[in-house]
């Protein structure tokens, strides 16, 4: 275990505070602009045209959990060949699937707790706590959370793919905005949920001894 001095811990703590302070500022700013952004981005409110476009469907389906099940299976099969059957071959595929699935579940849980309705009318916020909503709950977007969860975890395993994966996940969030199904903050909170889920999974399972993402994997598994 690497020794960390009190000074280094203090610096790391301040950096975390600054990062989360910036996240909070962005969230507040987006909340103030949510109605305007919704009106500006909602170009197909009746969902008549965009869902027929292949690019829209391709991006939206990244928020469909079975897509990440397929990705996880492919990654696990790849690692099984790479490790020649070593016990850790399923690890990375399972991590990607868990990241996507738990992120989506986390978004659904936040919906139940916060109970903010999907945007409608003039774009102002409405909460189910005060009046019944008929168009469903929106905060956070589960499609965006699934896409971000899978993309973030897969990007951690393959750093060279991080940028295109995150852009694709942002595209999933954009599909929800273009048809007026969500506020921008619904997508941003989905990103935060996905990041938190991925961090939690990585801390618990990310460097699982003997798994293919173990830094000592070539030596610990006996394969070069």
Instruction: Return the domain boundaries, the chain.
Output: 6-221
93 HSE (CA, 13 A, CB side): 17
Give the pLDDT of the chain (224 residues) as one tens digit per residue.
456 677 777 788 888 899 999 999 999 999 999 999 999 999 998 888 999 999 999 999 999 999 999 999 999 998 888 877 666 788 899 999 999 999 999 999 999 999 999 998 888 999 988 778 778 899 999 999 999 999 999 999 999 999 999 999 999 999 999 999 999 999 999 999 999 999 999 988 866 544 545 443 444 433 33
Rounded to whole angstroms, how far apart are CA atoms 48 and 78? 40
* Cβ atoms 139, 113 nearer than 8 A: no
Q: The whole model's pTM is what?
A: 0.87
128 exposed, middle or buried (CB, 10 Å; 0-12, 13-18, 19+)? middle
């Amino acid at each position: 275990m690497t020794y960390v001095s009190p000074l280094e811990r203090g610096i790391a703590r301040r950096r975390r505070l600054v990062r989360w302070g910036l996240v909070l500022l962005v969230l507040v700013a987006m909340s103030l602009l949510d109605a305007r952004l919704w009106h500006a981005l909602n170009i197909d409110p009746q969902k008549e045209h965009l869902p027929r476009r292949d690019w829209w469907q391709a991006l939206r389906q990244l928020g469909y959990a079975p897509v990440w099940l397929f990705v996880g299976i492919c990654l696990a099969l790849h690692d099984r060949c790479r490790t020649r059957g070593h016990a850790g071959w399923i690890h990375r595929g399972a991590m990607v699937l868990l990241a996507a699935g738990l992120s989506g579940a986390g978004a659904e849980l936040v919906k139940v707790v916060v109970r903010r309705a999907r945007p409608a009318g003039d774009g102002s916020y409405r909460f189910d706590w005060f009046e019944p909503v008929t168009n469903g709950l929106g905060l956070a977007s589960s499609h965006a959370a699934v896409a971000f969860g899978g993309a973030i975890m897969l990007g951690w395993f393959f750093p060279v793919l991080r940028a295109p994966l995150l852009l694709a996940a942002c595209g999933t969030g954009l599909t929800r905005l273009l048809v007026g199904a969500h506020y921008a903050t619904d997508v941003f909170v989905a990103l935060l949920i996905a990041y938190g889920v991925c961090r939690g999974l990585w801390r618990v399972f990310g460097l699982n001894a003997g798994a293919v993402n173990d830094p000592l994997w070539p030596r610990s598994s006996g394969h070069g």
